[in-house]
Amino acid sequence: MINSIIRDYSEKRDFIRMKVDTQISLSFENSDLTMTAVCKDLSGTGMLIETDDPLAENSEFHTSLPSSNPAFPAFETKVKVIRCEESDNGKFLIGAEILNMP
């Protein structure tokens, strides 16, 4: 029975990453700047976001992931950039830690 629960070593985390590949809105405090990006994956503690522009490590911003079901509100978070790497397609992959869900 326990063997059926064993996961691939790279996914031994407290929270499993879910691939979502959906549009997400980013907004920045004390700024009128907003941007649309793609949330590539999501877990209980963070998310991977693909953007057109780089974001500075340790910067914080708010996200809004829309719900496809009108009975459920958008998933809103405040996140902190842990890493920012340029991808092969010229976009940027942002590893973000979820700080809170207001």
Residue 15: the pLDDT is: 66
CB proximity list for 1: less than 8 A, separation 6 or greater: none
CB proximity list for 80: less than 8 A, separation 6 or greater: 58, 59, 60, 96, 97, 99
Confidence of residue 26 (pLDDT cuts 50, 70, 90): very high
Look over the chain and give the mean of its residue pLDDT values, rounded to a whole number: 88
Distance CA 22, CA 41 (A): 9
Residue 55: the pLDDT is: 96
Whether 81 and 95 have beta carbons less than 8 Å apart is answered as yes
Confidence of residue 96 (pLDDT cuts 50, 70, 90): very high
pTM (two decimals): 0.82
Whether 49 and 39 have beta carbons less than 8 Å apart is answered as yes
What domains can be seen in the chain, in order of their start residue?
2-100 (2.40.10.220)
Residue 13: the pLDDT is: 53
